[in-house]
Amino acid sequence: GEFKKLNGSSDFFFFLHSAGRLENGVSVDIDKRRIYIDLEENRVYSVNNQYAGNSLGLKKLAFRLAIKKANEEGWLAEHMFIMGVHGPGGRVTYFTGAYPSACGKTSTAMIPGQTVVGDDIAYLKKINGAIRAVNMESGIFGIIHSVNSENDPVIYQALTTLGEIIFSNVLIRKGVPYWEEMKKDIPEKGINFSGEWFEGKKDEQGKEIPCSHKNARYTLKLNELNNIDSKANDPDGVPVKAIFYGGRDSDT
């Protein structure tokens, strides 16, 4: 449908990606890993790479193209969450927040009692004197390490409810995913990023291998969440009243 709307125009982002030659599901020729970004033609070519932030074209690489497009057209493409904060009398105030990766954008957007529009990317435009924001992603691509029912109840419920979810670099035992700090009994063995895993397994440097990678991820649709904002898919976006900026402590 969207391509029909282009009516022959080449003004769209184009991605060509291959994980390359695989061994046990892992890219082998990493010495030939290449990512080329053509800012003039809005094209990206990547090969021999499996890091999701780069190999999932509509994530980091599209963001780089979007930043350039926004700069040329007078709007903003930002690494921000968008959330609705609910006040007295049914009032909803929309905030965006700019934190680096792994600093809590998703957790902030999921504060109990509030609603989420997006947890990672925001397009902001000034329309009729007001800043409006849209989330151009249809889901969440988040770090699963330390997600648990106490600290992240909404996300945890979605991850442990039968649905369309992608897990990466977690421990799999009998088809069930497990990860570090999920505050649930972890099986003593299974399959993870190191292959056959067992409790106490060590790598070549003698360091104990955790059950899941520190950068293990989950991917799910926003509509899998019970706190999705009613205007999450509004093409006119939501009015932004404030922007948070955050980071992490030096020892975090």
User: Which of the residues are catalytic?
Assistant: 103
CA angle (3, 239, 157) in 5-degree steps = 75
Structure tokens at 126: 């000034």
**Pairing label, strands 14-18, 43-47:** parallel
Which residues, in sequence order, are bridge partners of residue 166? 219
Structure tokens at 42: 């809005």
Residue closest to 36 by CA, chosen among 58, 15, 50: 15
Q: Is the dihedral of CA 99, 101, 107, 110 positive or negative?
A: positive
Helix (H) or strand (E) holding 156: helix 153-159
Classify the C-alpha dihedral 201-202-208-210 as positive or negative. Answer: negative
Looking at residue 223, what DSSP letter applies?
A: G
